């Protein structure tokens, strides 16, 4: 069973969707730690209410990136985390952690990557950009995390229509619904060891066909 650390900066609806899927036995994993750079994040409240250790920490609390990295690694070790989910986490994860958790760290992004990703494109900025461009579809992507913003191999994507009357808010709501579907599904693919990375492709093995 995967022991997951969820990093989240905000409201925490993706964390909640993952916990709901775990409770419903749709995901064979447990969330053992939640880390946030915002002490008042909804995700922190959700974790605390369920007795999941919730730690507020940020690079700004440390004199150097390496001290911050050591602190994060210690937390991940203490809680026996073997998988990381970024669920609305708006800070960069230190490179050493990405390397140590190679192929075991995923992110949810509210657009169809590689469009509308990268530094500065997060949350409502993404939906504003999609509408300003005049796209007719948008969606969500769960992808591997590598050393850049939003550039890792896609694992699952799902699209939604963009409607003529959409505002960033209404589009965000429609996209969020599919985020809540595909994030737990992606975690379960890892729990079943059905994801293999080849180059920039995440190959999903059919159920029951695992070598």
CA distances to 69, 108, 114, 151, 174 from 147, rounded to whole Å, are 14, 15, 15, 8, 29
Which of 12, 94, 139, 184 contacts ligand GAR by CB under 6 A?
Answer: 12
- Residues 133 and 162: beta-carbon distance below 8 Å: no
Part in contact with ligand GAR (CB under 6 A); list of ranges 57-65, 105-113, 130-138, 195-203 = 105-113
Does 11 help bind ligand GAR (rule: CB under 6 A)?
Answer: yes
Does 88 help bind ligand GAR (rule: CB under 6 A)?
Answer: yes
Query: What's the CA gap between 136 and 130, in Å, rounded?
Result: 9
Part in contact with ligand GAR (CB under 6 A); list of ranges 3-11, 70-78, 159-167, 187-195 = 3-11
- Residues 140 and 111: beta-carbon distance below 8 Å: yes
CA 9 to chain centre: 11
Residue 45 or 59: the one with the smaller Cβ distance to ligand GAR is 45
Query: What's the CA gap between 24 and 207, in Å, rounded?
Result: 19
Active-site amino acid positions: 109
**Shortest distance, CB of residue 77 to ligand GAR, whole angstroms?**
26
Residue 45 or 192: the one with the smaller Cβ distance to ligand GAR is 45
Query: What's the CA gap between 5 and 105, in Å, rounded?
Result: 10
The tokens for 84 are 């990381």
Which of 33, 122, 160, 186 contacts ligand GAR by CB under 6 A?
Answer: 122
- Residues 107 and 145: beta-carbon distance below 8 Å: yes
Which of 81, 143, 179, 186 contacts ligand GAR by CB under 6 A?
Answer: 179
Site map 128..157 versus ligand GAR, x via CB under 6 A: ------------------------------
- The site for ligand GAR (CB under 6 A) is made up of 8, 10-14, 87-88, 108-110, 122-123, 126, 176, 179
């Amino acid at each position: 069973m995967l022991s997951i650390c969820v990093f989240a900066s905000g409201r925490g609806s993706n964390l909640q969707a993952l916990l709901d899927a775990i409770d419903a036995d749709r995901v064979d994993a447990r969330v053992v730690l939640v880390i946030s750079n915002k002490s008042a994040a909804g995700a922190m409240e959700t974790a605390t209410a369920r007795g999941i250790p919730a730690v507020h920490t940020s690079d700004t609390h440390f004199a150097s990136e390496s001290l911050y990295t050591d602190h994060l690694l210690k937390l991940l070790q203490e809680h026996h985390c073997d998988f990381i989910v970024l669920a609305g986490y708006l800070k960069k994860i230190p490179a050493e952690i990405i390397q140590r958790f190679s192929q075991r760290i995923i992110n949810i992004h509210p657009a169809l990557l590689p469009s509308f990703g990268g530094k500065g494109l997060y949350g409502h900025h993404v939906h504003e950009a999609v509408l300003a461009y005049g796209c007719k579809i948008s969606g969500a992507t769960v992808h591997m995390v590598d050393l850049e913003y939003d550039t890792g191999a896609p694992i699952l994507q799902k699209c939604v229509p963009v409607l003529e009357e959409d505002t960033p808010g209404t589009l965000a709501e429609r996209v969020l619904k599919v985020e809540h579907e595909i994030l737990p599904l992606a975690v379960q693919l890892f729990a079943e060891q059905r994801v293999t990375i080849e180059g920039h492709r995440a190959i999903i093995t059919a159920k029951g066909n695992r070598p």
